[in-house]
Amino acid sequence: MIVDAARWWSLDLDAAQSVARSIATGSGAELVEVRAHEYAGRRAPIALFAVGGEQFAFVPGGEVMVGFDGDRFAPTAQQETSFADSAEEYGIEGDIRQFTDSMTSPARTVVLSPLLVAVEAVEAGAVPVPPDHPDIVRRVDRTRRRPGPQGRSAPRQIEWSGAGRAILRPDWTVEAAWLLDSPSYDGEIDRLAALRQRLLTPDEWEHACGAGATTLFRWGDDNPPSDPWSAKTGPHRVSNLFGLHIGQDPYQEERTAERGVVCGGDGGSAVCGGAGDFLAWLTIATAFRDVHYAAQVAADDEFGTMRVRPAIPLT
């Protein structure tokens, strides 16, 4: 009963519930909720599942469009000005359309299988530990004591870079926890395979992020002011049309099933280097590709952290 993307986006909630229940039955995942969701002027159902303490969303497949056509890009005056300033400072040749085209994957039609995709990308090297593990309890207590509204609910997920991660209930009790070992790309492939999971292919990642949007960003062609790391609110910080938190921070790029393809960021290089607003936002464009940065990442398997987004095949 699994449907393709075009059909999924057209379903009412009752029909979406029926599809989601069949997915839960066939995959062994726990159905958490199905609800109507709106993102960037588009409405569709989202279906969320729980697997091993992690939250996954249904990402339908079928024949879909991914990539970006730079020739159809209509930049705003603000984007043109920002790019011109950056081009002058860094010696970039060509206009904004040519540069954007060179930094994004080409527009193409692909046929993809349906998946359950992790709502949040996570740091690799996770080793499950009991919820009452002393290291986890200590870190949660320390985080809870940080200044904030009295009686505030806990975030769903909390990470301590290179150290650990926990799934929390609203009352700050720990539902599931992991300590983080030194990750490697091949080691993460093996770890996920043991869980009957895998990394997204670049095509799958773009589809999961853009959800059929043909614009530069999943919300449109324009970008907010400032840069995506400094902007703590905006269209990049909320759930996309599939209910995923994805492409939010250029410092948190994600590895894919192709060792030489990185999606969702550039390691923060553009932001950190002060490359300008447009170039900073471009790094979280749905089809963004920085082949030089990706080659460096692929050639170096000795790093402190690595972000991955697990996926569960449904066929």
| Tens-place pLDDT, residues 227-250 | 999 999 999 999 999 999 999 999
Same domain, 251 and 158: no
Question: For 21, left (φ over 0), alpha (ψ -120 to 50), or beta?
Answer: alpha
Tokens of 125: 């090297």
Question: For 267, left (φ over 0), alpha (ψ -120 to 50), or beta?
Answer: left
- The H or E element that residue 297 is part of is helix 291-299
* pLDDT at position 302: 65
Same domain, 214 and 153: no
What's the pLDDT tens digit per position in 128-138? Answer: 999 999 999 99
Cα separation, 277 vs 294, in Å, equals 21
Same domain, 198 and 252: yes
With CA atoms as reference, report the closest residue to 112 among 197, 189, 39, 200.
200
Same domain, 136 and 280: no
Same domain, 279 and 293: yes
Contact assessment for residue 101 and residue 143, using Cβ atoms and an 8 Å cutoff: no
Strand, coil or helix: what is 20?
Answer: helix
Structural domain range at position 215? 5-122+184-313
Residue 308 backbone dihedrals phi, psi, to 5 degrees: -135, 160
Cα separation, 4 vs 110, in Å, equals 13
With CA atoms as reference, report the closest residue to 124 among 176, 175, 182.
182
Same domain, 69 and 136: no
Same domain, 165 and 305: no
In terms of residues, how long is the chain? 315
* pLDDT at position 304: 65
Q: What is the pTM of this model?
A: 0.92
* pLDDT at position 121: 95
Same domain, 166 and 205: no
* pLDDT at position 52: 86
Same domain, 100 and 226: yes
Strand, coil or helix: what is 108?
Answer: strand
* pLDDT at position 39: 97
Cβ neighbours around 182 below 10 Å, total: 13
* pLDDT at position 161: 83
With CA atoms as reference, report the closest residue to 279 among 150, 96, 120, 113.
96
Same domain, 236 and 309: yes
Exposed, middle or buried, 94 (CB in 10 Å: 0-12/13-18/19+)? Answer: exposed
Contact assessment for residue 56 and residue 114, using Cβ atoms and an 8 Å cutoff: no
Cβ neighbours around 289 below 10 Å, total: 20
Cα-atom radius of gyration of the chain, to the nearest Å? 20
With CA atoms as reference, report the closest residue to 297 among 202, 184, 204.
184
Domain count, the chain: 2
Which of 163, 180, 197 lies at the terminal end of a domain, its last residue? Answer: 180
Which of 157, 180, 203 lies at the terminal end of a domain, its last residue? Answer: 180
Same domain, 72 and 214: yes
Cα separation, 298 vs 300, in Å, equals 6
Same domain, 31 and 90: yes
Distance set, CA 273 to CA 18, 159, 231, 309 (Å): 49, 26, 17, 27
Q: Which residue has the tokens 């959800």?
A: 211
315 residues of the chain, pLDDT tens digit each: 689 999 999 999 999 999 999 999 999 999 999 999 999 999 999 999 999 888 999 999 999 999 999 999 999 999 999 999 999 999 998 899 999 999 999 999 999 999 999 999 998 988 899 999 999 999 999 988 888 776 778 888 898 888 899 999 999 999 999 998 888 899 999 999 999 999 999 999 999 999 999 999 999 999 998 899 999 999 999 999 999 999 999 999 999 999 999 999 999 999 998 899 999 999 999 999 999 898 888 887 766 678 999 999 997
